[in-house]
Every structure is written in C-alpha cells, then in structure tokens.
C-alpha cells in the first residue's frame, strides 16, 4: 500500500475570511504523517465526523499516487456552505515556482489574471478584466485572513504585495462574498495563507532561468519547543527579456506564537519591496507577433517603486463555550510610478496607512450554528499626479497641462457588523443566511487648486459617506446524488467607491455623483466524487447583474453609471487515470455584456464587455514515473475577445503549453526544470484598444527555469 502525505494546515484566518484549521485532535502537528491507504480512509472518516461537529468540513481528495497521495484540508466552511471556492495547496505552489502570481491563479476556473510588464497585472475573477477604480475595488485580497488594503485605497496591482511564493495555501472564492467579507469582495476574494509559527524545519528553493531571472525562497521554523517562530524570505532579480525592464523584489514574512493569559495568540509581519523598470505597450495591430517589436520598449522612462508592510496579532480563546477571535492589525504602503499606459505619461505618488481590528464569535445552540463578527478600519491616503512634459493629440491641445493635476489627502473610517445562521431544515439539507451592514466615511482635502484644468477636475474639500447592506442566502443538499452535493446561493456584492473614483475626477464629471457599485448574483452547483472517487469535481453555473459600474473607456474617460450582465458555467476537476497518472484542470464559459447604451463610444446594450474571453481553460497531465521522478505537461487556453467597447477590435486568443520535471537526488534534495511557452508561441498577455490604437503586452518567449529544492 502506498504511503500518503498528510498536510495539516494550522488555523490562520479569522472573522470575515475563510479560516483554515485542523480539527481539535490534530492541532499539535504540522509535520507530515505517513499512513497507508486503509489508515488514511479511517483517519479521513474520523476527521470528517469531528470537524462536522465543529461546523467545519474535511475535504479528502486525490493528488498524486505513489510517493504523493491524499492531502487533507480542513476549511472553515461547514457541510452546508454554498458558493464556489477552491484551495490551491502548498505542493501546487511549490511545483509552480511561479515568477508571477498569475501562473498559479489562472489554473482555477473563472480566473484570468493578465500580466502587464514585470510584476504589474490586472485581475478578472468571474468578471471581465477590470481596470481603474473597478480593478482596485472589485476584488478583496487577504493575507492570513486580513485584507491587504483598506476599502478606499485598492490597487490594481495588489497581488505583488502578497508573499505568494511561500504560501501554505491560497483560497479563491468566486462570486460576491460581501455579506461576510465586506466591501471590495464584489466579484470574489483571494486569501493567501502564509507559513505560521508551527512550521518546523527548513525549506530552501533556488532557481535561475534562461531569461536571466534568479530567485531564492527560504522558510525556517524553530523546533517545536513551546511556541514557535517562522521566518520566510523571497528574493527575485530579473534582467528583463524586453529592453529596460529589469526588476528586483524582496519579501519577508515572520510569525511568532505566544500565550496571553488564557488566550492563544500568533503575531505575524510581512514586508515587500519592488523596484521595477517597466515596459510599455507595444503598439500596432498584431505587433506582439513581431519578435523585435516585442522585445523593444517604447517607454524606457517608465518605472514602478513600491513598498508594503502589514502586521497583525490574532488572539483566540473560548468564553462560555463561545469561540472568540480578535485580530488588531496595521498596514502601510507607498508607491511611485510613471503612468506609461496614459498618453501624457503622468508621474504618480501615492501612499496609505491604516490601523484596524477584526473580531468574530462562533457558537452553537442545539442544531443552530451562529457566527457574529465586526470590523473597524481607520486609514489615511495621499495621492499626487504631475505631468512632467507637454503633451497634446494635436497642435493647441490644452487638455493635458504640464504641472500638478491632483494633490490630495483622504482620511477614511469604515465599520461593519455581520452575522450568519446555519441550520439543518431536514436531514442532509442545510440553510445558511447572512447579512452585513457597513458604513464608510471619507474626509477629503486638496492641496491643488480646486476647479477644472483641461481634462482634470479637482474637487474642493468635502466629506462623503456610504452605507452598504449585503445579504446572502444559500442552501446545500448533502449527498443529493450518491457522493455529490447540490447547492444554490443568492448573494449581493457591494463596494463603496475608491478614493480615486470620488476625487480624481475629469472635466465631464460632476462632483458627488459617484455611487456604490452593487452586484446581485444567483448560482447553483454540484460538487463531489464519482467512479469510486477517481473523479473529484466542482461544477457551478451563475447569473449576475451589476449597477453603477465605474470604469474608464477606451478614450480615457470615466463612466460612472454603467450596467452589466454576467452569466457563466465553471468546472474544476481531477481524474486519477491510473495510480501513476492524473489529469486535472478547469474550464469556464462566460458571457459578460453591457446592459446600457452609450453612443459616444459605441456601447450598445448586449455588446460583449471588452477583455472578457468567452472560454478559459487550464489542463494538466501529471505523471509519477517512479518514487523519485515525476513530470507534468500543462496547457492554458484563452479564447478570442474584444478589446474595445464597440466590439470592433479583437485579439484572437492563444494556447500556451508548459512542462515540468523533477527528480529526487536524495531524500532531502530535489532538482527540477520548468519550460514555459514550450512551443515558443507569439502571444499577448494583455491586448487592449485605447486612444484609437491596438496595443499589447507581449507574452514571454520560450524559456526554461532550472532549480533545486532542499528541506530538512
């Protein structure tokens, strides 16, 4: 019988996040436990029974046979948890050795993270690829369950701030999650779970690529003598395969466990520094197909320097049979960059800092499970935009004046209360109902003269406030069809405007007219196993409607009152073909359309939203050749999509293949090679049509990464 690796993920998240924890009997270990198949089946059954009593669910799903088999994940989602979610495990993070977080996330259905230049990117999560305020505020990114940004100060590039290289797990919730998680979880959330204080031993990974990209990742944990400490470090130096596009990035995470009276506690701190020379768009229809043009950089002056830090302490205890979690936190970031994607190439400096607290109570009354939580977040942000050189589309064009365009400070305060009830109405049929109320206050002060100058509209000092109410109602029929669960979920996603939505106005806008975006969603799904659990799958279908959609059109003008419709089908599955061969992957079909007319830029109700491929898929065939040798082949497919709102310009899509091989040199040392873009396809990571031109961020040519991993 084959040995099995059991990965116990220690409790990391709290409150309005997806929490990952071990059942009570397993909390003392984070080490690998070798078990036979029969032992693992019995252990899994025991885990499921005990976790169910605590309102949690244990998922036992196949991974690799032979030397790598089942991974047990305990998720803070009860058996009656409706909605679409997925976990990317530590082993997948390690094997991907991702140069960019998009490489990991795009393996999931409904996810399409487009890489721009270096570490820059834009996110689609059950949505079109979103830019500007929508890109900043429609997705919630968390680290250990704590949002990495305050609600009003999002960042379209926020994934480079998280320490994805060393994550124990990455959870992705698709669809609105605002009832529990709050503003910005409109289309979904991404939660990175970092190595906690229980990590033991040392894990080091070193790699170099044919594109002159060098990386080092290390995790060091103290022996299990009382409360542990864990330090994780990631370093990356990239010469850049395009002209003048070098990148240096450093990330550090630290976790420390301790006791405070009767409370168990863990403190953690993360820090990221990015210094990047940025490549701009390649202009001209199909220009990404030209090798020389792809490697050129028309914006050698472009750059991005960014720093991010966040610290938190999680306290856990029990009071009168009620589980209590309290997490105070603080975060800070600053960034400056050249806006190479705008024709006038403005220079932006922004920063924000915040302190806050999240709290949660979990209890049970008979068959009724209840959860109550809250949060408070006080933040302050600054933004300054200047234009260093003259610019105009034609002689005498005065819409883009040299000098300061915006220079302001915004102080914000957000507070929320939420609650959930979960109960079984009949055997195997459970209901979950949730509601969140949230209030946002903004106090804006400008240092630039108020009024309109060219295209730019600077509001006078003012205050604004927004109230959000986001309900959720779900139902799960467990074992509806053999080992398959059926679920349905009705939810609302809502976000208060970003500070830039409210105060970085344009000449055609009126001060004070921006409203909260609202997304109403209904989904149904099936998840479970078949063919003796050789096949494990999650199939979901959804329909959504959004109001007050805020976006920037292809002429660079803000649209504040858009309406859109969304529907789609998503599949995530794994099939064990043999003990040594596994096929896994995802596929999604989506129809994202405008539901309003705007003749000025060709928007007609029913048009496809730009940068919204109908089909996305990711397929992987993994082969465990021997106990020491394994290999995999994967393919990522992106369908054709429109690049403008009028549906007149298109990108044809692409299919990119990658391969990986690994060999255990010793018990503690592995060598691996990853070949990306295996057939040297000429493709674009991002295609766009703006200011009357096709433009692209070209994808990397074929390249190989060679590395070693040591752990002891």
Which residues fall within 8 angstroms of residue 615, CB to CB, at 6 or more apart? 587, 588, 589, 637, 639
- Nearest to residue 316, comparing CAs of 474, 145, 480? 145
Q: What pLDDT was estimated at residue 41? A: 54
Query: In the chain, how many domains are there?
Result: 1
Residue 178 CA, chain-centre distance (Å), reads 15
Q: Quick one: tokens of 62? A: 């196949």
Q: Quick one: tokens of 705? A: 């990464």
Q: Residue 527 burial (CB < 10 Å; 0-12/13-18/19+)?
A: buried
Concatenated DSSP letters for 431-473?
EEEEEEEEEEEEEEEESSPPEEETTEEEPPSEEEEEEEEEEEE
Least confident of 47-56, 119-128, 364-373, 375-384: 47-56
Q: What pLDDT was estimated at residue 52? A: 52
Q: What pLDDT was estimated at residue 21? A: 32
pLDDT band at 406 (very low <50, low <70, confident <90, very high): very high
Q: What is the dihedral of CA 119, 570, 143, 335, to 10 degrees?
A: 30
Beta strands 139-143 and 188-193 are parallel
Q: What pLDDT was estimated at residue 29? A: 28
497 DSSP 8-state letter: P
DSSP bridge partners of 37: none
Sheet-wide strand order for 139-143 = 84-89, 169-174, 188-193, 139-143, 146-147
pLDDT tens-digit readout, 213-251: 999 999 999 866 567 899 999 999 999 999 999 999 999
Q: What pLDDT was estimated at residue 38? A: 52
Count other Cβ atoms within 10 Å, centred on residue 34: 10
Average pLDDT over residues 658-669: 96
Residue 17 has pLDDT above 90, yes or no: no
Q: What pLDDT was estimated at residue 10? A: 24
Q: What pLDDT was estimated at residue 68? A: 21
User: Tell me, what CATH number does 210's domain have?
Assistant: 2.40.170.20
Q: What is the dihedral of CA 690, 691, 694, 700, to 10 degrees?
A: -60
pLDDT tens-digit readout, 36-89: 445 555 655 666 566 555 544 444 433 222 222 222 333 344 434 788 988 898
Average pLDDT over residues 606-631: 96
8 A C-beta contact, residue 468 and residue 183? yes
Q: Quick one: tokens of 103? A: 């490489």
Residue 444 has pLDDT above 80, yes or no: yes
Residue 6 has pLDDT above 90, yes or no: no
Average pLDDT over residues 272-300: 96
Q: Quick one: tokens of 300? A: 């050698």
**In the chain, what percentage of residues exceed pLDDT 70?**
88
Q: Which residue has the higher pLDDT, 582 or 32?
A: 582
pLDDT tens-digit readout, 118-168: 999 999 999 999 998 899 999 999 999 999 999 999 999 999 999 999 999
Q: What pLDDT was estimated at residue 367? A: 85
In whole angstroms, what is the distance from residue 640 CA to residue 653 CA? 4
8 A C-beta contact, residue 141 and residue 147? yes
Strands (E), 8-122: 33-35, 57-61, 71-75, 84-89, 114-115, 121-122
Residue 575 has pLDDT above 90, yes or no: yes
Q: Is 540 helix (H, G, I), strand (E, B) or coil?
A: strand
Whose tokens are 């990119």? That residue is: 656
pLDDT band at 557 (very low <50, low <70, confident <90, very high): confident
- Nearest to residue 217, comparing CAs of 98, 393, 335, 321? 98
In whole angstroms, what is the distance from residue 383 CA to residue 378 CA? 17
pTM exceeds 0.85: yes
- Nearest to residue 708, comparing CAs of 657, 676, 658, 668? 668
Q: What pLDDT was estimated at residue 552? A: 81
**Domain coverage including residue 75:** 4-711
- Nearest to residue 132, comparing CAs of 401, 456, 498? 498
Average pLDDT over residues 108-125: 96
Count other Cβ atoms within 10 Å, centred on residue 541: 16
Q: What pLDDT was estimated at residue 54? A: 52
In whole angstroms, what is the distance from residue 601 CA to residue 584 CA? 42
8 A C-beta contact, residue 21 and residue 10? yes
The CA-based angle 288-291-297, given to 5 degrees, is 70
Q: Which of 58-62, 86-90, 425-429, 678-682 has the highest mean pLDDT?
A: 678-682
Residue 24 has pLDDT above 70, yes or no: no
8 A C-beta contact, residue 574 and residue 86? no
Q: What pLDDT was estimated at residue 28? A: 27
Please provide the distance, in angstroms rounded to a whole number, between the alpha carbons at the two ends of the chain.
25
8 A C-beta contact, residue 305 and residue 353? no
Q: Residue 367 burial (CB < 10 Å; 0-12/13-18/19+)?
A: exposed
């Amino acid at each position: 019988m084959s040995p099995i690796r059991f990965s116990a993920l220690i409790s990391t998240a709290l409150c309005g996040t997806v929490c990952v924890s071990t059942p009570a009997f397993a909390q003392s270990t984070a080490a690998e436990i070798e078990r036979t198949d029969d032992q693992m089946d019995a252990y899994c059954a025991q885990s499921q029974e005990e976790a169910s009593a605590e309102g949690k669910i244990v998922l036992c799903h196949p991974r690799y046979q032979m030397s790598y088999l089942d991974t047990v994940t305990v998720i803070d989602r009860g058996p009656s948890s409706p909605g679409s979610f997925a976990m990317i495990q530590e082993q997948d993070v390690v094997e991907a050795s991702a140069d960019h977080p998009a490489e990991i996330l795009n393996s999931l259905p409904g996810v399409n993270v487009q890489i721009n230049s270096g570490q820059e990117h834009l996110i689609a999560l059950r949505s079109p690829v979103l830019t500007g305020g929508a890109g900043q505020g429609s997705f919630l990114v968390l680290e250990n369950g704590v949002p990495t940004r305050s609600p009003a100060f999002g960042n379209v590039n926020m994934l480079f701030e998280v320490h994805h290289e060393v994550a124990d797990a990455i959870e992705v919730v698709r669809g609105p999650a605002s009832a529990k998680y709050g503003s910005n979880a409109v289309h979904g959330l991404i939660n990175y779970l970092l190595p906690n204080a229980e990590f033991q031993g040392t894990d080091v990974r070193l790699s170099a690529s044919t594109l002159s990209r060098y990386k080092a990742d290390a995790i060091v944990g103290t022996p299990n003598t009382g409360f542990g400490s864990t330090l994780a470090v990631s370093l990356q130096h990239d010469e850049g395969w395009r002209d003048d596009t070098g990148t240096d990035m450093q990330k550090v995470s630290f976790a420390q466990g301790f006791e405070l009276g009767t409370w168990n506690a863990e403190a953690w701190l993360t820090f990221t520094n990015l210094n990047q020379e940025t490549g701009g768009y390649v202009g001209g229809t199909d220009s990404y197909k030209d090798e020389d043009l792809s490697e050129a950089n028309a914006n050698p002056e472009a750059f991005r320097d960014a720093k991010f830090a966040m610290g938190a302490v999680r306290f856990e205890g029990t009071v009168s049979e009620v589980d209590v979690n309290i997490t105070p936190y603080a975060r800070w970031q600053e960034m400056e960059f050249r806006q190479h994607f705008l024709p006038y190439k403005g220079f932006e400096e922004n920063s924000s800092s915040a302190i806050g607290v999240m709290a949660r109570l979990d209890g049970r009354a008979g068959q009724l499970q209840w959860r109550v939580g809250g949060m408070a977040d006080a933040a302050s942000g600054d933004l300054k935009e200047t234009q260093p050189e003259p610019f105009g589309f034609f002689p005498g064009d005065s819409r883009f004046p040299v000098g300061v365009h915006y220079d302001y400070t915004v102080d914000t305060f957000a507070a929320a209360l939420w609650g959930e009830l979960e109960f079984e109405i009949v055997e195997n049929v459970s209901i979950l109902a949730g509601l969140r109320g949230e209030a946002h206050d903004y106090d804006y002060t400008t240092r630039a003269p108020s009024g309109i100058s060219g295209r730019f509209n600077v509001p006078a000092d003012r205050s604004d406030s927004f109230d959000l109410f986001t309900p959720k109602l779900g139902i799960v029929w467990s074992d509806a069809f053999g080992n398959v669960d059926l679920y349905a979920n009705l939810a609302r996603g809502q976000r208060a405007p970003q500070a830039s939505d409210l105060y970085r106005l344009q000449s055609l806008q009126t001060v004070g007219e921006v409203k909260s975006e609202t997304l109403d969603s209904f989904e149904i799904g099936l998840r479970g196993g078949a063919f003796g659990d050789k096949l494990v799958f999650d199939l979901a279908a959804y329909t959504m409607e959004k109001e007050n959609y805020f976006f920037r059109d292809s002429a660079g003008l803000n649209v504040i009152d858009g309406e859109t419709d969304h529907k789609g089908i998503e599949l995530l599955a794994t099939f064990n073909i043999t003990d040594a061969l596994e096929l896994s992957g995802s596929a999604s079909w989506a129809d994202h359309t405008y539901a309003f007319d705007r003749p000025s830029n060709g928007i007609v109700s029913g048009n496809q939203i730009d940068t919204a491929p109908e089909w996305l898929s990711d397929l992987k065939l993994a082969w465990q050749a021997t106990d020491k040798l394994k290999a995999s082949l994967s393919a990522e497919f992106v369908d054709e999509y429109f690049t403008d709102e009028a549906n007149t310009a298109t990108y044809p899509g692409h299919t990119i293949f990658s391969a990986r091989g690994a060999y255990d040199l010793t018990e503690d040392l592995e060598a691996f090679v990853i070949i990306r873009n295996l057939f040297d396809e000429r493709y674009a990571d991002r295609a766009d049509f703006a200011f009357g031109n096709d433009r692209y961020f070209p994808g990397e040519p074929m390249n190989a990464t060679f590395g070693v991993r040591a752990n002891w």
